[in-house]
Structure 1
Amino acid sequence: MNPSTDSSSVAILHELFGYKAYRGAQAEIVAHVIGGGDALVLMPTGGGKSLCYQMPAIMRHRAGRGVAVVVSPLIALMHDQVGALEVAGVHAAFINSTLTLDETQRIEGEMLSGRLVLLYVAPERLTTPLMLRQLDSLRERGLLSLFAIDEAHCVSQWGHDFRAEYQALNVLHERYPGVPRIALTATADDLTRADVIERLALTEARVFISSFDRPNIRYTVVEKADARRQLLHFIHDEHEGDAGIIYCQSRRKVDETADWLDRQGINALPYHAGLAAEVRRSHQDRFLRDEGVVMVATIAFGMGIDKPDVRFVAHLDLPKNIEAYYQETGRAGRDGQPADAWMAYGLADVVNQRRMIDESPAVEAFKRSQRGKLDALLSLAEAHDCRRVRLLAYFGEASVA
């Protein structure tokens, strides 16, 4: 990107999003993708990943390059991203199962006309014959701007959130070799990173790795005694009236914990896939809109949720591995202000996680990898030295502490 283009990009950034400058590696990433380059971006939650594809999409659209297609794994994430873009004056839409046939066809028309700046779709929707034919039409008319693959760690069988439908996304490289692709994730160790590069055919892509350090987050791990009471004391002592997220492993535990906290005077709501869609949407809206709401949830909640003032993330059950722990705790303190990551764990958690690994139908190599990841998480939980140093070391980063 030449200096004039760079100043134009910053001016548009300020005009649409209110930021006076890019942060960290954002400017370099944006310039690279605007210029047609492929990229793999590893950036912590709250680091501004979305701008790394939204700004190239906006700039390339203004240059007549048409529509950017964003692969997104969750409906809630699509709704939030599209809503925020439309408020900013950027024409965006999503296609997913919440739409009627008429609504879907209207958005497809907007896409095919090239008027849309960004279109969000799930991976399984993107690879349908109809969608691929529509993308072919856009490419033939020079109106296919770029592909952004969000939560790219989902493509890796070694990652903490594997989704088989992501592995079909290598069709983008094969079918649209001239269209730039940017894959983004907040969590990927060396093995997962290499797998993402291989499976998405990003061997020629530039890799941008931001620091994984979140210095505003304090990490605390306690041994379980009476976990609910320990959690209640933590909230009362440290975060009375603050917004927070509490993660539990099962839907039943989510419901019981939310109900118990509510009876203790905490404004708590449950969130999991077993609740009706309208209940989940209502609870999510209250969490985003109201002050001091505590969401008790399974890991189904949080991905792509842009609430900057979450003051704590608590775990009542041990996560699967450090990647999951890092991504979930990273939802705290996105505004840069002090926040807490609090976890209670016990021997039963470890036994349960090992049992799930041993009884899974996965191949032995995968089980061995998962056991190793669990062992790394246990070392982090039981550490007597600085947990931040250990967390950063896991991702191959030396701490300056």
Structure 2
Amino acid sequence: MTRALDILNHTFGYDAFRPPQDEIIDTLIKGGDALVLMPTGGGKSLCYQIPALARPGCGVVISPLIALMQDQVSAMQELGVRASFLNSTLDLASVQSVEQALLDNELDLLYIAPERLVQGRTLQLLSQAQIALFAIDEAHCVSQWGHDFRADYLQLSLLHQEFPQVPRIALTATADERTRAEIIERLQLEEAQQFIAGFDRPNIRYRITLKQNARQQLLRFLKQEHPSDAGIVYCLSRRKTEEIASWLCQQGFTALPYHAGLPTEVRAEHQARFLREEGIIVVATIAFGMGIDKPDVRFVAHLDLPKTVEAYYQETGRAGRDGETANAWMVYGLQDVIKLRQMMANSQGNEAFKRVEQHRLNAMLGLCEITSCRRQTLLGYFGDELADPCGNCDTCLEPVATWDGTEAARMALSAAYRTGQRFGVNHLIDVLRGSETDKVIQCDHHRLPTFGVGKSLDKNQWSSVFRQLVARGYLRVDVEGYGALQLESHCRALLRDEETLHLRRDTLKKVVKQQTKTALPEDIDVALWEALRACRRELADEQGVPPYVIFNNNTLQEMCYQIPQSLSEFGSLSGVGERKLDKYGADFLRVINQHLSS
């Protein structure tokens, strides 16, 4: 570990490991296998980068998105690490050059997409080279029960078969117990040490609210809290991503759409701009985000309900990788649930798969509807415990008001039953409120005992009742019956007067007044901060890399506090390794000295 600590200090510019990084790195250096679950921003990459540098040979990283390899390799090269990649973007001459460098032992890290790794040519190449380790990033992709399943990952068990002496590390930020078990089985990691570092991201504020006017809610959120910040807005459909991106541009933001239907070169351009420019908002489907290594994403917003808690956690985890405060903000409604369940019903999965997906959607909806601490529920889903409420989610900051909804719930269930369990929520509300619509009259539902019994509640209140009954398992949505609501067996105790039910009282919530936009400490020299940022931006443009690859915000803030006057003092800053000291030290010292003399 002396060698590992030396690499951490001199190459990466950090003083000490974060537990359990040291244990993981020690395991790999000694030739053991590891399964690592660590939250986004927790330092997973160092767990394979440092052993790859410490062990003889080249570390091979299996990464699911070729679009990100260039940025990952550029970041390593900036540190003086001999890194490269093999993917379909390279021409034949470039491929041959990288392959020869590997055979000549001139590479420390090589990034390869899974579909390329399993080709006979690649396996033959690797068999002739000295391999330090195999790192399987985003390992949850191997699980057919996971939320980002990739068929190419199923063949990665061959690494154990073809290279039994080479240590392997599988890494992910999101995997429940079932997914972890499948990762172990499919990658043949039964003998691997497991490192579960916890899932909590305390710097992220989780906020979920009822969808009422999604665009205006989003606009208010952005203008009041993130007027110039980088962020991601997730939508369910490709069409919606383009519409929202265009609309945000009209509102004065710089917003770019991203979805799988866009041309490859457009997606690559939008991703590159997001990584390298400041203040860009990407409006995307779930096609965007895996492996995104941008530390200063200040918010992730969802305009539609994610399908699973895993997807929600993974997507929100792209905010605040630098450890600074960030927002995970979402609006949702019953129509989201109906749409997702229709998508599940029409999927190609077998019945067992659909049942698991239904269970996961119910868990996601349950997270939305709870009145207790969201973080405790979120962590509990992954088997991680938080003893006390977090104090940094909406239900902690603004405790939810509840009301005795027992009688209203019985009316709603009765209306669904007496209309034959063949109608959606809007028709049932019309029946309960006594609205003599054409459909109510045509179906003779104005003669039912439940007609007009719910006039004391308005449409929004009844919609809230039905949504919560679905979330709590009293009603289900029949996706084949155009969203008809049907009774679940769970409702019997409530109908028999054996149970009472308290529901959350939905109101249009005000945006939390406390700013979560990254704020500078009160005692920092803002003029120097801006000058250092300008220097970083200029260097990043020259190198064609994102600004954070030069130095992250924490290192810039330390420059403002420490005011280094020499290369020796500059080299002692956190995040400044030998390579970056030689490459950038003089430029930043010049900016500091100019500021002091102005």
- TM-score class, shorter-chain normalisation, is over 0.9
Between stretches 237-246 and 204-213, larger displacement belongs to: 237-246
- Partners of 2:77 and 2:286 in 1: CA distance: 28
Residue 316 (1) aligns with residue 311 (2): no
Deviation at 1:17, TM superposition (A): 1.4
Deviation at 1:248, TM superposition (A): 1.0
Aligned to 2:58: 67
Correspondence 1:179-190 to 2 at 5 A: 179-190=166-177
CA contact (8 A) 1:153 1:162 kept: yes
- Partners of 1:289 and 1:180 in 2: CA distance: 34
Deviation at 1:204, TM superposition (A): 0.2
Deviation at 1:7, TM superposition (A): 2.8
Aligned to 1:106: 97
Residue 88 (1) aligns with residue 75 (2): no
Residue 159 (1) aligns with residue 146 (2): yes
The 3-state SS of whatever aligns with 1:327 is helix
The 3-state SS of whatever aligns with 1:183 is strand
Aligned to 2:260: 273
Between stretches 277-286 and 359-368, larger displacement belongs to: 277-286
Question: Which amino acid is 1:132 matched to?
Answer: L
Deviations 1:281-325 (A, max 9, x none): 322222222221111111122222211111110011111101110
Correspondence 1:171-250 to 2 at 5 A: 171-250=158-237
- Partners of 2:341 and 2:328 in 1: CA distance: 23
Deviations 1:180-204 (A, max 9, x none): 0000000000000000000100000
Pairwise CA RMSD of aligned residues?
1.1
- Partners of 2:14 and 2:190 in 1: CA distance: 32
Flag as ranges the 4+ runs of structure 1 deviating above 3 A. Answer: none
The 3-state SS of whatever aligns with 1:93 is strand
Deviation at 1:278, TM superposition (A): 2.9
Partner of residue 331 from structure 2, selected from 325, 338, 344: 344
The 3-state SS of whatever aligns with 1:309 is coil
Aligned to 1:19: 14
Partner of residue 115 from structure 2, selected from 109, 120, 124: 124
Aligned to 2:40: 45
Deviations 1:328-374 (A, max 9, x none): 00011111111110011111111111111122121111111111111
The 3-state SS of whatever aligns with 2:189 is coil
TM-score (norm 1): 0.95
- Partners of 2:101 and 2:237 in 1: CA distance: 41
- Partners of 1:289 and 1:124 in 2: CA distance: 28
Residue 301 (1) aligns with residue 292 (2): no
The 3-state SS of whatever aligns with 2:205 is strand
Partner of residue 33 from structure 1, selected from 25, 28, 32: 28
Between stretches 279-288 and 343-352, larger displacement belongs to: 279-288
Residue 58 (1) aligns with residue 53 (2): yes
Deviations 1:186-235 (A, max 9, x none): 00000000000001000000000011001111111111111111111111
Aligned to 1:3: none
TM-score (norm 2): 0.64
- Partners of 1:302 and 1:360 in 2: CA distance: 23
Question: Which amino acid is 2:80 matched to?
Answer: G
- Partners of 1:109 and 1:299 in 2: CA distance: 37
CA contact (8 A) 1:216 1:336 kept: yes
CA contact (8 A) 1:80 1:305 kept: no
- Partners of 2:83 and 2:211 in 1: CA distance: 46
- Partners of 2:274 and 2:143 in 1: CA distance: 31
- Partners of 2:368 and 2:331 in 1: CA distance: 9
Question: Which amino acid is 1:205 matched to?
Answer: A
- Partners of 1:77 and 1:289 in 2: CA distance: 13
Deviation at 1:36, TM superposition (A): 0.3
- Partners of 1:344 and 1:34 in 2: CA distance: 46
CA contact (8 A) 1:77 1:303 kept: no
The 3-state SS of whatever aligns with 2:256 is strand
Aligned to 1:262: 249
Deviation at 1:279, TM superposition (A): 2.4
CA contact (8 A) 1:67 1:146 kept: yes
- Partners of 2:10 and 2:327 in 1: CA distance: 33
Deviation at 1:277, TM superposition (A): 2.8
- Partners of 1:320 and 1:92 in 2: CA distance: 36
Aligned to 2:70: 79
Deviation at 1:273, TM superposition (A): 2.3
- Partners of 1:278 and 1:264 in 2: CA distance: 26
Deviation at 1:8, TM superposition (A): 2.6
- Partners of 2:37 and 2:57 in 1: CA distance: 26
